[in-house]
Amino acid sequence: MSPLKLAGCLVCLLFALAAHTSALAQAIVIGGKNFTEQEVIAEITSQLLRARGYSTRVRTGFSTPGIRMEQEAGLVDVYWEYTGTALSNFENITEKLGADDAYARVRDLDSKRGLVWLSPSKVNDTYALAMRKADAAALGIASISDLSIRIRQGKRLRLACNTEFYIRPDGLAPLQRAYRFAFGADDVVRMDPNAIYDTLRDGNSVEVGLVFSTDGRINAYDLLLLQDDQSFFPSYLMTPVVRRKVLDQNPELAGHLNAIAAKLDNATIAGLNGMVDLQKRDVEDVALSFLKASGLL
């Protein structure tokens, strides 16, 4: 090769290296919602990407509408969303879809918005209604249909839920319509999602609580998940969603995020949630322990 051609090749290589280095140096903003599971998965994502040479910044504490607005505005690059949540809240789709169809539908719709849904995890974190096992047994309640019958018969039962569930399109009002019952106007207490579990366990002010099915406190607090016997709640597969612009600049991101998704299922995420909520371990420590135990680090 002539000296001139060699010099040209070296210049091209330097430009390519500079572009790659610049992409890695630009912080990837990782978002999360306002509950433990989202804080944990955001930290897992951040730690793995940092180990792969990226600069990252974590921003958690968002509501569902809030984090989507941040991502569409380019202020959050990646976060983990749930298929059923996206379909009902962002696409206004309420028809019953299987897990695979729901994923394919939201993936295709969000692609038009410049958002890429990568491989879903096996975490299906559905909303659920829970009661203390002793109370449920005493009242003969095992399902949401049983609950609706007791309330229609005049039994006063109080519900603790967060504000988002109270107003969202796959939330309290449509749930009550589907099961043909309604909590009394003064019998719905809105509170922070994390406060619901302790309130329900203590049993002083509510008998029913809205919970996430993968929360480690359900078993620890001896709570019973009421069967959703009319299949009201859709599939909620937890999946990394990335802005296409960021993915085009960093195509290897897909492999890193998909590697995390492949290691997650309901039992695994419930264990991680329990480490934070029950054992009171730091989110950073829990994330690191998962990455090491799963062989990702």
- pTM, two decimal places: 0.84
CA distance 173 to 90: 18
pLDDT of residue 216: 94
CA distance 224 to 143: 10
pLDDT of residue 69: 97
Cβ-count burial of 112 within 10 angstroms (0-12 exposed, 13-18 middle, 19+ buried)? Answer: exposed
Q: What percent of the chain has pLDDT over 70?
A: 92
Q: What is the arithmetic mean of pLDDT over 65-81? A: 97
The answer on pLDDT for 24 being more than 90 is no
The answer on pLDDT for 23 being more than 50 is no
Name residues whose C-beta falls within 8 Å of residue 42's C-beta, 6 or more positions apart in sequence: 30, 31, 32, 58, 60, 79, 80
Going by pLDDT thresholds of 50, 70 and 90, the confidence category of residue 25 is low
Strands 188-190, 223-225: pairing kind: unpaired
The answer on pLDDT for 215 being more than 60 is yes
Tens-place pLDDT, residues 29-63: 999 999 999 999 999 999 999 999 999 999 999 99
Contact 41, 67 (CB under 8 A): no
**Three-state secondary-structure class, residue 198:** helix
The answer on pLDDT for 237 being more than 80 is yes
pLDDT of residue 96: 84
C-beta neighbour count of 280 within 10 angstroms: 7
The answer on pLDDT for 85 being more than 60 is yes
Question: Which structural domains are found in the chain, ordered by start?
Answer: 3-124+236-293 (3.40.190.10), 127-225 (3.40.190.120)
pLDDT of residue 4: 43
**Three-state secondary-structure class, residue 91:** coil
Identify the bridge partners of residue 14 per DSSP, sorted by sequence position. Answer: none
The answer on pLDDT for 91 being more than 80 is yes
Tens-place pLDDT, residues 240-287: 999 999 999 999 999 999 999 999 999 999 999 999 999 999 999 999
pLDDT of residue 26: 84
